[in-house]
Structure 1
């Protein structure tokens, strides 16, 4: 039985026919002609979200855009050395072991999130991976095709042409820390239920870089899923991008969801996400953070 929860979706604005949607994550000069940091607005929608734990073996990256795997241990991850020295290698090994068509796993980023943390601030320092970020309650895909291309060209300037001739997937591995999720669970949307017109490419502007992601317009045909009371040994794997032609689900939307009924004594959510690029061929010397 589906539970009711809320997610924010992109509100369409005719201005997007003249200028691209954008968000700026840095301070603007006080004498700038345009002092807007974004031209995006949102509609909050109530969705039905289905617990898929009992049918988890029926959901796959290629058919739905997401799946789930168990990963014992790593309940507490509080320091950078442990994350990069122990947790990241285990994530790479799990992806090599559990997914098909995997030659190389390149980890390019990881992030800690906390729903209630005195060290969590509204101003994001993207260069500090230890700064907890708040859950994101917006339906989105983290990386557009241009961002994947830029990441490969910047990270592998000598091998980019070779890499771009093979299958490339951008896959996120997400799991809670410390205890099961009691608020702000992560939900994923079956990529086969998302219409191309639902996606709106958006520019994300930071100091020295512009990347692209997708925000999403609401459609009642979109089907959302989550792992109810997701435990620290349960990971969600979901795709942002897949270069393989003909794959049923080249991506899955995702968002933290605002539950309509949360216990007053609910513990805050802490989680970690690991962002990867997966290449179908083997590249020696490829590591990542």
Structure 2
């Protein structure tokens, strides 16, 4: 176990990703069936974790965390039959090329102007144009594997590309998901990527927010995760997703993120033998993972009990060291765009 503040040698505040003592890869001909790796959980004794984040996205140490690197199998979700779906498992692979091949993903303005609409339309197509009232992309992270924080993003107001995050986590909690929806009906905060774009305006109108908070409209926060390397598949530090139904409410631990002008919450996780991990090997730029980070109609959101038995609330996830990847491979480069999906009035 590793105390909070251990880092990977690049000045980062979280523990390094670890390889298993004896790497194992199960093959079926040319296909990877499963691999084993170590995942950075927090210990069961961890109660609450706190971190402070500046406007560039840099974190202090994670106060209150004790890390528990647990060896787990991760299965090839491409072989799942039936396929993984958003509603049942909390994540789904789609083959959907980017509308414009000329997008500069390291340019924040280009991403907002040209890629956000692409993600919004993708989710409308998948969730159903007849069911969805609107989808609004409101934030994104670019991740590039380096020894520390990556290059400063053009037009990003000082924000930088981040490294892939090798901690088992969920992006929103039962408190922070509705709070984030409320925030989007207010002028953007200091860390919001749309602050310079919206000024004193808001992304979400007050009437829609009232319907969301009162339960008249279902809402979900869904990430669109994509490789931005247009030439190579992802072979370094791919994203693993935990089946929503394999997690329990007893596994969650609160992470409080202290921004300049607000406090957000994520979930960290304590390990359980029930957790079922999957990944999509060698993802290309023309594919995307749709990842639920909160769904107001999910079973856990509605009852506070076991996730995903009838409707997935969120999919916990993490980057990991893949023992099936070649020793010589390009650095992972990816983008995740956070979108608020709002259903029509019930």
Describe how 1:113-124 pairs up with structure 2 within 5 A. Answer: 113-116=143-146, 120=150
Secondary structure of 1:133's counterpart equals coil
- The TM-score with structure 1 as length reference comes to 0.84
Secondary structure of 1:63's counterpart equals helix
1:143/1:216 CA distance change after superposition, 3 Å: same
Please list the CA deviations of residues 81-100 of structure 1 after superposition, one character each: whole Å capped at 9, or x if unmatched: 32112211111111101113
State the distance in 2 between where 1:245 and 1:255 align.
21
**1:41 corresponding residue in structure 2:** 66
Please say if residues 23 and 40 of structure 1, whose CA atoms lie closer than 8 Å, have aligned partners that are also in contact: no
Residue 12 (structure 1) aligned with residue 63 (structure 2): no
**2:120 corresponding residue in structure 1:** 92
1:258/1:149 CA distance change after superposition, 3 Å: same
Secondary structure of 2:234's counterpart equals coil
State the distance in 2 between where 1:167 and 1:104 align.
11
1:181 to 214, 234, 240: 234
Q: Give the CA deviation at 1:80.
A: 2.3
Structure 1 stretch displaced more, 92-101 or 74-83: 74-83
1:255/1:12 CA distance change after superposition, 3 Å: same
- The TM-score with structure 2 as length reference comes to 0.71
Residue 233 (structure 1) aligned with residue 282 (structure 2): no
Please say if residues 149 and 163 of structure 2, whose CA atoms lie closer than 8 Å, have aligned partners that are also in contact: no
1:56/1:117 CA distance change after superposition, 3 Å: farther
Q: Give the CA deviation at 1:248.
A: 2.7
Q: Over the residues paired in the alignment, what is the CA RMSD in angstroms?
A: 2.6
Secondary structure of 2:121's counterpart equals helix
Residue 161 (structure 1) aligned with residue 210 (structure 2): yes
Q: Which runs of 4+ in 1 moved over 6 A?
A: none
Please list the CA deviations of residues 215-269 of structure 1 after superposition, one character each: whole Å capped at 9, or x if unmatched: 0011121111111111111101111111115443111111001223543321100
**2:261 corresponding residue in structure 1:** 208
**1:103 corresponding residue in structure 2:** 133
Please say if residues 183 and 268 of structure 1, whose CA atoms lie closer than 8 Å, have aligned partners that are also in contact: yes
**2:274 corresponding residue in structure 1:** 221
Structure with more contact order per residue of length (Cα contacts < 8 Å, sep ≥ 6): 1
Please say if residues 110 and 272 of structure 1, whose CA atoms lie closer than 8 Å, have aligned partners that are also in contact: yes
Count of residues paired in the alignment: 268
Structure 1 stretch displaced more, 77-86 or 263-272: 77-86
**1:242 corresponding residue in structure 2:** 295
Please list the CA deviations of residues 127-173 of structure 1 after superposition, one character each: whole Å capped at 9, or x if unmatched: 75851100000111011122122222222252322222210111111
> Could you list the runs of 5+ residues in structure 2 that have no partner in the other structure?
1-32, 187-205, 300-309
State the distance in 2 between where 1:208 and 1:152 align.
16
State the distance in 2 between where 1:88 and 1:9 align.
32
Q: Give the CA deviation at 1:5.
A: 1.9
State the distance in 2 between where 1:263 and 1:79 align.
30
Q: Give the CA deviation at 1:36.
A: 7.4
Describe how 1:55-74 pairs up with structure 2 within 5 A. Answer: 55=80, 58-73=83-98
Describe how 1:244-263 pairs up with structure 2 within 5 A. Answer: 244=297, 246=299, 247-260=310-323, 262-263=325-326
State the distance in 1 between where 2:61 and 2:90 align.
34
1:36/1:263 CA distance change after superposition, 3 Å: closer
**1:287 corresponding residue in structure 2:** none
